[in-house]
Amino acid sequence: MRNVKKLRSLISSKKLITQMGCNFRFHPCLIKIKKILDTNELGRIISVQVESSSYLPDWHPYENYRFGYAARDDLGGGIALTCIHELDFLYWFFGDVKKIFSVTGKYSDLEVTSDDLSAMIIIFKNNVVGELHLDYFQRPDFKSCKIKGTKSTLYWDSTTNEVKLFSQKNKSWKSIYKLKNFDNNQMYVDELKHFFKCIKNNKKTINDIDDGIKTLKVVLSAKKSSESGNLITINKK
């Protein structure tokens, strides 16, 4: 957060267009989930559970994972900060965070100086309760999102890339979106296209510097919670 106020001031004075590099906002399945949430099809949202697990040495097999920023606390790495993407799309889905509790630290046998596991309990301002699990040590890679509402439950995972709804009325799952032949790189291409389009039209991006500051505050509060063992209230300023 050091010099963030100065950065914001420069952006404002120069009227710059900003965008945080959070590619999951451009994942077709997450875009579909966002649209469903906006229609109130699930009813009042009660809770959400998100998992993001992977094996750090597999990220860049061509280099020694021990020296990458993600493995090093001194470079701002660690699972909580490096995988801020999941927290970003939860903020995109449900808005501002009110309180957070976390257990974040190094628990695996990986040769890293940073945290490799983070379990967060998140209370959003709209009283949705979130559970976020992040880790560096699982094979195979796996991501999932389950959202529970008063009318229905929604589920997506990275294995099938299928968005499903469970109908309380019919007591059965229904597939509402199936992503075939998913190209992971396309998210980044679409993200860049969005950014350039916003620059051309002088419009605000889907996640500007202010969104980035908000999610960073939440992650830093999660780390503070883990250190103190306390539930942390997010500073509004």
pLDDT tens digits, one per residue of 184-214: 999 999 999 999 999 999 999 999 999 999 9
Structure-token match 């499903």, residue found? 164
Q: Can you give the CATH number for the domain in which 31 is found?
A: 3.30.360.10
Q: In the prediction, which pLDDT does 87 show?
A: 97
Q: pTM to 2 decimals?
A: 0.94
Q: In the prediction, which pLDDT does 169 show?
A: 78
Q: How confident is the model at residue 170 (pLDDT cuts 50, 70, 90)?
A: confident
Q: In the prediction, which pLDDT does 168 show?
A: 76
Does residue 236 fall inside a structural domain? no
Does residue 33 fall inside a structural domain? yes
Does residue 166 fall inside a structural domain? yes
Does residue 178 fall inside a structural domain? yes
Does residue 237 fall inside a structural domain? no
How many domains does the chain divide into? 1
Does residue 74 fall inside a structural domain? yes
What strands lie across the sheet with 232-233, from one edge to the other?
Answer: 172-178, 162-167, 152-157, 137-149, 45-55, 129-135, 117-124, 97-105, 232-233
**Residue 206 belongs to what domain range?**
18-231
58-72 pLDDT, tens digit each = 999 999 999 999 999
73-132 pLDDT, tens digit each = 999 999 999 999 999 999 999 999 999 999 999 999 999 999 999 999 999 999 999 999
Does residue 126 fall inside a structural domain? yes
Does residue 187 fall inside a structural domain? yes
